[in-house]
Amino acid sequence: MEKEINFRIATEQDLDKIVEMLADDVLGRKRERYEQPLPDSYIEAFRAISSDPNNELVVACHGDEIIGVQQITFTPYITYQGGWRATIEGVRTSSASRGKGIGTELINWGINRAKERGCHLVQLTTDKERPDALRFYEKLGFKATHEGLKLKLK
Amino acid sequence: MEKEINFRIATEQDLDKIVEMLADDVLGRKRERYEQPLPDSYIEAFRAISSDPNNELVVACHGDEIIGVQQITFTPYITYQGGWRATIEGVRTSSASRGKGIGTELINWGINRAKERGCHLVQLTTDKERPDALRFYEKLGFKATHEGLKLKLK
């Protein structure tokens, strides 16, 4: 790619493209609703994230085009002597941009942001149905030391 | 036990006992510092949690005695059509109270709190070195669908 990849906090104008990327995925298409107009629930969540100093929705841009997204949550915990952690979630790159190292740049950006925020740990969970994602994160230095458990509520 | 178990948001006066419980554990003793006075980092983390409407540090009490703790973080995400999740972390019961179902009551309290807050999912990770904890959460209905990855920062 000729143009540099830039990272910035998402604006509400980016939300359409973000939802499109999240829906364009083998697991995402089962659970997202990418429609026009965008369902209100996405807009409400966007505003809740944007107004929370401990949540950052980050987009990767190639020129004006949004090609990746991730959400980083910064959380203070009592454990580890009162240490802060960064949790990364909702990572996606646009299908046209896959295999070009954008995901690696995106996560490395998140790791640096976690350091800036004074976190001692970056954590995330990855669906066991995505073995490629597990290898991707392990290559970046993450260790799969934990089981990730989910309980769906009615 | 004769007295009922009550659950409430922790106060700063509870912090000493909370750190004592976290340190009194095979993994916790390697990473906590239960000393008098309590290291400032614990107090700073407690205040960051208490002042954040999306974080709740919850204690289980038997009369005046604190016998359990958990932290619940409520997070808005774009994924799942803008759904909120509850993340449970730092779960511990006092060594004298183990095997009495306190942990089950504590997590069920957290699940109900997540419902009250409109979450569609409760999530947590458990160290693969704690096979008993995995069975405990599975009995409560959690599914180990994900790998839990951690990256320690310098």
Q: Is residue B10 domain-resident?
A: yes
Nearest-angstrom CA–CA distance, A139 and A104: 9
- Asked if A114 and B143 come within 8 Å (Cβ–Cβ), the reply is no
Q: Is residue A134 domain-resident?
A: yes
Identify the pLDDT of residue A2: 58
Going from the C-alpha of B98 to that of each of A97, B21, B24, B93, B125, the distances in angstroms are 51, 12, 12, 6, 20
For chain B, give the mean pLDDT. 95
- Asked if A73 and B78 come within 8 Å (Cβ–Cβ), the reply is no
Identify the pLDDT of residue A4: 87
Q: Is residue A72 domain-resident?
A: yes
Q: With bands split at pLDDT 50, 70 and 90, how would you rate the model's confidence at B2?
A: low
Q: Is residue B152 domain-resident?
A: no
According to DSSP, the residues that pair with B66 across neighbouring strands are: B61
Chain B residues close to A149, C-beta within 8 Å: 123-126, 134, 137-138, 142-146
- Is the distance from CB of A74 to CB of B52 less than 8 angstroms? no
- Pick from A57, A84, A150: which is nearest to B123 by CB? A150
Total count of domains within chain B: 1
Is A1's pLDDT higher than 80? no
Is B114's pLDDT higher than 80? yes
Q: What is the pLDDT of residues B8-59, one digit of tens each?
A: 999 999 999 999 999 998 888 999 999 999 999 999 999 999 999 999 999 9
Identify the pLDDT of residue A26: 85
**End-to-end CA gap in chain A:** 45
Q: Is residue B154 domain-resident?
A: no
Nearest-angstrom CA–CA distance, B135 and A106: 35
Distance from A4 to chain B by nearest Cα, in Å?
26
The residue assigned the tokens 């989910």 is A150
Among all residues of chain A, which has the CA nearest to that of B154? A120
- Is the distance from CB of A39 to CB of B87 less than 8 angstroms? no
Is B6's pLDDT higher than 90? yes
Q: Is residue A154 domain-resident?
A: no
Q: What is the pLDDT of residues A43-97, one digit of tens each?
A: 999 999 999 999 999 999 999 999 999 999 999 999 999 999 999 999 999 998 8
Q: Is residue A150 domain-resident?
A: no
Q: Which domain holds residue B40?
A: 5-139
Chain B residues close to A118, C-beta within 8 Å: none
> Is A149 part of the contact surface with chain B (CB cutoff 8 Å)?
yes
Q: Is residue B147 domain-resident?
A: no
> Is A33 part of the contact surface with chain B (CB cutoff 8 Å)?
yes
CATH code of the domain in which B87 resides: 3.40.630.30
Cis check: omega of the bond before B37, within 30 degrees of 0 = yes
CA torsion angle for A103, B88, B144, B84 (degrees, to 10)? -60
Percent of all residues in chain B with a pLDDT value above 70, rounded to a whole number: 98
Q: What is the ipTM of this complex?
A: 0.94
- Is the distance from CB of B38 to CB of B47 less than 8 angstroms? no
Distance from A91 to chain B by nearest Cα, in Å?
10
- Is the distance from CB of B85 to CB of B47 less than 8 angstroms? no
- Is the distance from CB of A69 to CB of A92 less than 8 angstroms? yes
Going from the C-alpha of B28 to that of each of A57, B21, B23, B36, B40, the distances in angstroms are 32, 9, 5, 17, 18
